[in-house]
Amino acid sequence: MAKLPPFGTVFAPQMAVASFEEGAFGAWEIEKTADFSLHPAAHVFHYGSACFEGLKAHRGLDGSARIFRLDAHAARLVQSAELLCLPPPPVEMTVAMVEEVVRTNRDEIPEPPGSLYLRPTLVGTEANIGAAAHPPASGLYFVIASPVGDYFSGGIRPLRILIEEEARRSTEGFGMAKTGGNYAAALRTVVAARKDLGADQVLFAPNGLVEETGASNFLLISDDVVVTAPLSGSYLHGVTRDSTLRLAERLGYRVEERPLPVQEVLDWEGEAALSGTAAVLSGVGTFIHKGEEITVGSGEVGANTMRLRRALTDIHSGVAEDPFGWVSVV
């Protein structure tokens, strides 16, 4: 596969766009990917009225375009919109927009392991800087696409993860929204960890209990079990997390969703991984905790992590059957 630019920095030529007024969506259209013109008083600039999704279309072995778990992402966008008091885009509308974006940009889908990253986005555009106490009356809903390779630079490699026990990534009840404010809240901690410690990401574990990293869910993995924290309102309900757990059960692993203390993570003798649409399943090689570096397993990406990652990516590309009906072929 030809080398792709850094993740998310180039864009496919066509996008889908719709607008809403007073909570009602108009007809959507396919347009050339181009700039929007927004008033400087637009609600999104001042009051953060924005949410989004991230999913992928993969090129199948037969040349087909295969969208992974579109229905689940469309449903999660509804959840995020409702948490932000934005009009939720109907699931069937999101499905139709995403599928048409994939069809019109089919030639932009890279060969595996690359993919076409899809970003449905909903923003408030009402020009009113006195609207802090009410939702925007108007807005835009659009779907853009970006041909991508690996999320972390350097491809598949063991990651360095700082464990943070004081700062939170987000707040109870709002962390499950996929919105820029949650990423912004974590960014200062992630940037400092990268600059000072060479960390790739930060695992937030307020009060000594693991939640998630700045951009991914977190798993402990061994030869026979996959362990992860239970879902809560404090962090994102990852579609890749759910997919990995269901695949793990099918492959014979025991799955445990339970509170995960930091000390158990530090004492774990197996593997650790981050899961997410962008990251897929990325192995952890080192934890950084209170100034100490702790090697995870052999320090390399583990065999079980790679087994689960391959099980997932084989469904993406059609190498393996799709027993769950996750893939939409367009």
Catalytic residue among 3, 32, 56, 178: 178
> Is 290 a catalytic site residue?
no
Burial 93-104, CB ≥16 within 10 A → b, else e? bbbebbbbbbeb
**Whole-Å CA distances, 142 to 53, 68, 106, 249:** 11, 19, 18, 36
In terms of Cα–Cα distance, which of 160, 211, 156, 210 is closest to 190? 160
Q: If you compute the radius of gyration of the chain from its CA atoms, what whole number of angstroms results? A: 20
In terms of Cα–Cα distance, which of 188, 60, 178, 187 is closest to 119? 178
CB 243 within 8 A of CB 69: yes
Strands (E), the chain: 14-21, 24-25, 29-32, 50-52, 55-59, 65-68, 115-124, 138-148, 159-164, 201-204, 217-221, 225-228, 254-257, 271-276, 280-289, 292-295, 327-329
Catalytic residues: 178
